Amino acid sequence: GQQLNQSPQSMFIQEGEDVSMNCTSSSIFNTWLWYKQEPGEGPVLLIALYKAGELTSNGRLTAQFGITRKDSFLNISASIPSDVGIYFCAGPLTQGGSEKLVFGKGTKLTVNP
């Protein structure tokens, strides 16, 4: 089954507000990835994190790799309407000797102008 728990499932915010979402797992991850999926499109990578405690920014987006390596956080500052979409966390999981990318169920963000 899926290994990553994302919360919240959905968010409805006003333009200009800040957004926080997180992803947790019972397994340790060595890499955390955050993707955004816009309606009708495939996911696109926003931020990649490779080291526990790492804090990385991409414009108004900031993501952190949790110290325990079992969680990660994504913040969006001063949201705008084009931030609408589903945000997924993902990480590589080694099972049966090979590495696969597993995804959380996503946080659906709606921004009201």
Partner 1 sequence: NAGVTQTPKFQVLKTGQSMTLQCAQDMNHEYMSWYRQDPGMGLRLIHYSVGAGITDQGEVPNGYNVSRSTTEDFPLRLLSAAPSQTSVYFCASSYQGLAGVDEQFFGPGTRLTVL
CA 83 to chain centroid = 13
Residue pair 90/104 in contact by the 8 Å Cβ criterion = yes
57 counts as binding partner 1 under rule CB under 8 A: no
65 counts as binding partner 1 under rule CB under 8 A: no
DSSP state of 113: -
Using the rule CB under 8 A, which residue among 15, 53, 80, 100 binds partner 1? 100
Torsion of CA 30, 26, 71, 39, to 10 degrees: 100
The stretch among 12-20, 38-46, 56-64, 68-76 that binds partner 1 (CB under 8 A) is 38-46
Residues in contact with partner 1 by CB under 8 A are 1-2, 6, 9, 29-31, 33, 40-45, 48, 88, 90-92, 96, 98-106
